[in-house]
C-alpha cells in the first residue's frame, strides 16, 4: 500500500471529495501544504466550502480530472474500478488508496487516537469528546461525520498529541484504523446490504476492539447484548458505561426538563461523583455523554471541566437540530435513518411538555426498508402523526418489492395516523394544513428530507 509522508507535501486527488469524511481529509492535507484537487457528482455546499478554502473541485468524474502531476489518488468506498478517474489513475500507475486506509495512516501520526464506533450515536459522541478535549486545552485534531460548531465544521487541525474521529463499521472501514482508545456505543442490525446478520456485525466490532494496543483502552456500553463477546480476552484495559453500579461509569437520578434535556448523577468507579446537565435531549445522550466522559477522564480532563463543557454542548447539525419556528410550530431535523435512531429521537421528542409530535421520514435504501420493516413501524408508532416520503437509494436499485407506502399502510393498520405522499411539495402542503401552535415537526432521514423543514420555515 502507498504510504504518505505527511512531512513531505505532494499532489493528492480525491474522487468523491464532497463527502463529509473525504472533505475533512482533503482539508487536512491542504492545511499541511499539500496540493489538493478533487471531483464530485454534485455542486454541494461542502464543495463550495472546499473551493472557498482554495481547493480546486471539478463537478463530474472524468479521466481528464487526473491531471499531469497528480502523485496519489484517494477514493471512497462508493467508487469502483470502472469509474473513469479510478481507471485513469490505474492506467497511469498512480497509487490509489481508499478513504479508510488513508484515514488510518493519518491517525498513526498521533500518540493518542480516540475512535468512536457504534451503529448509532457516533457523530454526537465524537463531537462531545472533541469539545471536552478542546475545553481542556488539549488541542485535538478532529474528524467528525457532521458539521459541529465547536469544531468549526467537520474537521479541525490541532496539535500533534490527540486525534479524535468516528470509526465507521460500513464495509468494515474501521478495521483500517489504529485506535489507542476505542469507544463502542452500541451494536445493532444495520448495513445489512454488506453484513450478513447481527453476528457478522458483532464479529467486526470484536476485530475493531482487538486493534487497540495493550496500553490502550476500550470503552463499551454494557447495554450491548452479550458485550462480553467484544471484550473478553482483550489485552488492553476495558471500562464499561451504563446504568448499573457494576459499571465503571454509571448514571442514576436522571431527570428531564420541559425541552427533554437531561440532568443526572454520574458515578466514576474509584473516582468522583458529579451532577451532569446536558444541552442535548434524550436518554440516549446520557449514554453518549458517559462514553465521552470515560475517554476524557482517561486523557486527564478534570471533572470540573467536563461538567462545564457538556452543559455548553449544543450538538452536531442534523442531530435533533432545532431549525426554527413557524406559526408556533417548532421544526426539528434529525439524521435518524435506522429504527433505533428514530425511536431514540421520538422518545426525546415525547419528553417535550404538552407537545404533539409530527414527523416525516425518508428511508434510505430499499434493503434497509425490506429487512427492518416491522422495526420501522414500531419506532414510528411513537409519533402522533407520521408522513412517509419516498425511499432515497443512491447505491441500490428499486427491485426489492418494498416502498415507503408499505410502512404507512402498516402504521395505519395498527391504528396510527399515517400518510404517504410522493413529493416534497405535497408533504409541505399537508403540514401547512395539519400543524397547529405548540406542535413539534420533525424531519427524519440521512438524505435531503431536511429541505421540507427549511422550505416551511422559508414561508
Nearest one of 199, 191, 141 to 169, comparing CA atoms: 191
Please give the Cα distance from 320 to 344 (Å, whole number).
10
Helix, strand or coil, per DSSP, at residue 220: strand
Q: Which residue has the cell 490505474?
A: 90
Catalytically annotated residues: 122-123, 166
Cell of 147: 458539521
Between CA 395 and CA 372 the distance in angstroms is 18
Q: How far apart are CA 65 and CA 235, in angstroms?
A: 46
Of 213, 119, 210, nearest to 167 by C-alpha is: 119
Half-sphere exposure in the Cβ direction for 252 (13 Å, CA): 7
Q: Which of 138, 106, 127 is nearest to 27 (CA)?
A: 106
- Residue length, the chain? 459
Nearest to 364 by CA among 349, 376, 378: 376
Instruction: Enumerate residues 6+ apart whose C-beta is below 8 A from 38.
Output: 13, 14, 15, 16, 17, 18, 22, 26, 50, 55, 56, 57, 58
Cell 434535556 -> residue? 261
Do residues 132 and 306 touch, judged by C-beta distance below 8 A?
yes
Amino acid at each position: 500500500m502507498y504510504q504518505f509522508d505527511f512531512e513531505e507535501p505532494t499532489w493528492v486527488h480525491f474522487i468523491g471529495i464532497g463527502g463529509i469524511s473525504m472533505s475533512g481529509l482533503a482539508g487536512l492535507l491542504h492545511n499541511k501544504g499539500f496540493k489538493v484537487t478533487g471531483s464530485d457528482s454534485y455542486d454541494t455546499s461542502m464543495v463550495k466550502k472546499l473551493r472557498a478554502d482554495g481547493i480546486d473541485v471539478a463537478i463530474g468524474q472524468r479521466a481528464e480530472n487526473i491531471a499531469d502531476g497528480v502523485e496519489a489518488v484517494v477514493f471512497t468506498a462508493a467508487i469502483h474500478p470502472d469509474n473513469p478517474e479510478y481507471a485513469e489513475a490505474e492506467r497511469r500507475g498512480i497509487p490509489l488508496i481508499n478513504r479508510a486506509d488513508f484515514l488510518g495512516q493519518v491517525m498513526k501520526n498521533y500518540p493518542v487516537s480516540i475512535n468512536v464506533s457504534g451503529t448509532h450515536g457516533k457523530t454526537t459522541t465524537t463531537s462531545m469528546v472533541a469539545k471536552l478535549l478542546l475545553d481542556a486545552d488539549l488541542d485535538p485534531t478532529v474528524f467528525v461525520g457532521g458539521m459541529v460548531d465547536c469544531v468549526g465544521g467537520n474537521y479541525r487541525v490541532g496539535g500533534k498529541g490527540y486525534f479524535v474521529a468516528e470509526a465507521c463499521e460500513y464495509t468494515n472501514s474501521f478495521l483500517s484504523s489504529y485506535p489507542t482508545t476505542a469507544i463502542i456505543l452500541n451494536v445493532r442490525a444495520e448495513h445489512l446490504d454488506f453484513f450478513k446478520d447481527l453476528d457478522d456485525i458483532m464479529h467486526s466490532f470484536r476485530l475493531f476492539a482487538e486493534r487497540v494496543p495493550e496500553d490502550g483502552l476500550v470503552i463499551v456500553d454494557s447495554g450491548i447484548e452479550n458485550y462480553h463477546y467484544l471484550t473478553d480476552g482483550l489485552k488492553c484495559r476495558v471500562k464499561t458505561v451504563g446504568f448499573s453500579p457494576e459499571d465503571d461509569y454509571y448514571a442514576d437520578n436522571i431527570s428531564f426538563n420541559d425541552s427533554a434535556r437531561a440532568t443526572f448523577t454520574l458515578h466514576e468507579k474509584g473516582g468522583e461523583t458529579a451532577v451532569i446537565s446536558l444541552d442535548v435531549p434524550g436518554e440516549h445522550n446520557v449514554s453518549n455523554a458517559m462514553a465521552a466522559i470515560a475517554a476524557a477522564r482517561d486523557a486527564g480532563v478534570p471533572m470540573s471541566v467536563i461538567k462545564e463543557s457538556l452543559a455548553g454542548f449544543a450538538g452536531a447539525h442534523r442531530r435533533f437540530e432545532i431549525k426554527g419556528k413557524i406559526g408556533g410550530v417548532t421544526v426539528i431535523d434529525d439524521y435518524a435513518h435506522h429504527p433505533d435512531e428514530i425511536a431514540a429521537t421520538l422518545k426525546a421528542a415525547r419528553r417535550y411538555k404538552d407537545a404533539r409530535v409530527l414527523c416525516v421520514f425518508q428511508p434510505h435504501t430499499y434493503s434497509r426498508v425490506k429487512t427492518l420493516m416491522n422495526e420501522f413501524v414500531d419506532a414510528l408508532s411513537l409519533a402522533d402523526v407520521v408522513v412517509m416520503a419516498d425511499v432515497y437509494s443512491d447505491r441500490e436499485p428499486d427491485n426489492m418489492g418494498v416502498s415507503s407506502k408499505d410502512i404507512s399502510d402498516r402504521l395505519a393498520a395498527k391504528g396510527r395516523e399515517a400518510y404517504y405522499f410522493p413529493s416534497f411539495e405535497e408533504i409541505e402542503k399537508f403540514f401547512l394544513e395539519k400543524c397547529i401552535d405548540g406542535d413539534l415537526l420533525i424531519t427524519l432521514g440521512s438524505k435531503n428530507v431536511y429541505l421540507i423543514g427549511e422550505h416551511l420555515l422559508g414561508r
